[in-house]
Amino acid sequence: MPLPPAATVIIPIAVVFGPIGGQLWRVYRTVSQDVQTGEVQSTAHADGVDLINQLALVGPSLWPISFLMDRAGTRRAQEIHQLDFSNLYTIDRSWEAGSCPHLFLEHSLDSSLTYWGELWAGAPDESQVGTLQVPQAVNALLLAELENEVAYVVEVCVNGVAITRNRVLHRGQTLRVSVRPGDRVRLAGYYVPHGSARNREPDPWWKNEVVTAFMQSAT
């Protein structure tokens, strides 16, 4: 495969699930830029050596030892060093849209939290609806506004019955909804970013940081 000057080749060798809800990666530097497909691409230099026990290898993997290069008719072998989790370069792409609030599941046994995901993750200022069926061993849903935005909870329905309406969550505020396993929940609302948040470059590590910090403070 010919390689033009100043070009870079990325060869995937494995799929690894990173840590969620635990210790954070140590990020030295992040650079973000717009790409032709419309997303924002962020490249980061990170250290994950302390998180090896929290990583999960998924599916087959390929661990190359060396590769051959042909330069001006001369072939040479280039060795590849072992994967070093203390010296990682990560590439992440995301759409330039907010996501508030965040939704957590509260467990009935010990009140611990599980992160369900982002609620109303579409465009800001537009009414959206999220639905879910409550899993086993969960007795409450917790909506948390963790970012520089305001969440407008228009209505929360459990099994078709409105539980609460017209609630406003500012950064740092939460809304707890009592539920039972098997309940069907419908959450309608929207979010409005503050002026500074609308123009902020997306940070792929930001969501993990705020979610992790919230879960640690709640335990």
81-131 tens-digit pLDDT: 888 888 888 877 765 555 578 999 999 999 999 999 888 877 788 899 999
d(CA 24, CA 79): 31
- Please give the model's pTM, rounded to 2 decimal places: 0.59
Q: Please work out, in degrees rounded to the nearest 5, the angle formed at the alpha carbon of residue 36 by the alpha carbons of 32 and 42.
A: 20
C-alpha neighbours within 13 Å on the C-beta side of residue 25: 25
Residue 168 near residue 153 (C-beta atoms within 8 A):
yes
pLDDT of 98:
54
Q: pLDDT tens digits, residue range 141-163? A: 999 998 888 999 999 999 999 99
Sketch out the chain's domains with CATH numbers: 15-94 (no CATH), 102-201 (2.60.120)
What's the maximum distance between 2 C-alpha atoms anywhere in the chain? 74
User: Is the pLDDT score of 136 beyond 90?
Assistant: yes
